[in-house]
Amino acid sequence: MKLIESITAMKEYSSALKKGGSGIALVPTMGALHAGHLSLLARAREVCDVSVMSVFVNPAQFGPTEDFAKYPRDLESDRALAESAGCDCLFAPSAAEMYPDGYCTYVDAGPIGDILCGAARPGHFRGVATVVLKLFNITAPAAAVFGAKDAQQTAVIKRAAADLNLPVRIITAPTLRDADGLAMSSRNTYLTPGERKQAANICKALFEAKSLFEGGECSVERLKNTITSTIIRGGLIEMEYADIVDPVSLRPFPANTESPALIAVACRTTESKTRLIDNVVAG
Ligand code: PAF
């Protein structure tokens, strides 16, 4: 596996591959790799000849009181994991190269970035859209793979790719879960043992709501209340939001409709103050 740390070298690698007729599938990550990331890589390897995984903890998507400083970083471990999973190239640029002095251009994700997680994290999706577009310009992928756990992120990127006519296919890969259902996330390492135990209720609540929805329950309020009561019942998890929305536009789900719905939640633990998100598609 190649390790590339400079933008110029990455562009050269990508254009040489293109000239040779190979396409790149990109898996953008912030590192602290786990099995969920490796499943995205496996999907990337299915769709293109060459897989590139980026590892970059993007300062532009963290708010001033968020966990940018403590976000787990371990390039050596990421490198070993990516290589063992068959990654062709790990791209790990520095923040100074990605955002040099004088940097001032950002991608506005629009209203789709201001709702759900965007309401509690102002500017987050602007930071995500900016870095992902930069990564697309640097690596020139034919496809890019994102995890379904970050449903709003994928919706934002799909929208931006369509709106800005980007020549890249956006692929969503399923959420990987621990044995008790908790969606894999690099932030799960922050959880205290008690929080970790109760965090399984998040997935439980989502699947309960999915089966109620598919059984004909179409009151968004009742579904939200069911989700909330299951998630908060242990006392160590508080709700940020639970919502039922259209999976593409993320607009509020219209009652009495036959189309699928995205049931999404964000919550925060009370001890380690960890923010956790998850979702399921129902219908
Ligand atoms: O999902 C993530 O890890 C990040 O938001 C991404 C897509 C790598 C952009 O920094």
- CB of residue 29 inside a 6 A radius of ligand 1: yes
Global confidence as pTM:
0.97
DSSP letter at 271 equals S
Q: Phi then psi for 93, rounded to 5 degrees? A: -75, 165
pLDDT the model gives residue 255:
58
Q: Cα torsion for 243, 247, 252, 258, to the nearest 10°?
A: -110
Compute the distance between CA of residue 30 and CA of residue 137 in angstroms, rounded to an integer.
18
* Domains located in the chain, CATH noted: 2-173 (3.40.50.620), 186-282 (3.30.1300.10)
123: CB partners within 8 A, 6+ apart: 60, 61, 63
- CB of residue 28 inside a 6 A radius of ligand 1: yes
What's the CA-to-centroid distance between 233 and ligand 1, angstroms? Answer: 31
pLDDT in tens, the chain (283 residues): 999 999 999 999 999 999 999 999 999 999 999 999 999 999 999 999 999 999 999 999 999 999 999 999 999 999 999 999 999 999 999 999 999 999 999 999 999 999 999 999 999 999 999 999 999 999 999 999 999 999 999 999 999 999 999 999 999 999 999 999 999 999 999 999 999 999 999 999 999 999 999 999 989 999 999 999 999 999 999 999 999 999 999 998 875 567 899 999 999 999 999 999 999 999 9
User: Among 29, 40, 139, which is best to mutate for testing ligand 1, by the most ligand atoms less than 8 A from CB?
Assistant: 29
- CB of residue 131 inside a 6 A radius of ligand 1: yes
- CB of residue 98 inside a 6 A radius of ligand 1: no
